[in-house]
Amino acid sequence: MKNNIIGIAFAGFWIAVFIGWVMNIYKLTKYDFDVPLKSEVIRCIGIPVFPLGAIIGYMDIKDGKSK
């Protein structure tokens, strides 16, 4: 019983990590790649660095666009 709970928690953690990584890629595709590029660069770095990309996927990164 205890092993089942640990297994479910472990699987749930990795599913949440994978969903965060996919959300990072999805949010990256919605950008216009116009100056400033802070959020685009951060999301691009998160793609090959899997744990970082999973965390970034859940974040809302705002660019300071000047008018």
DSSP for 1-65 reads -HHHHHHHHHHHHHHHHHHHHHHHHHHHHT----S--HHHHHHHHHTTSHHHHHHHHT-------
pTM: 0.84
Q: What is the pLDDT of residue 20?
A: 96
Quick one: DSSP state of residue 67? -
Here the tokens at position 45 are: 């770095």
pLDDT tens-digit readout, 13-52 = 999 999 999 999 999 999 988 888 899 999 999 999 988 9
Torsion sign across C-alpha atoms 28, 42, 57, 19: positive
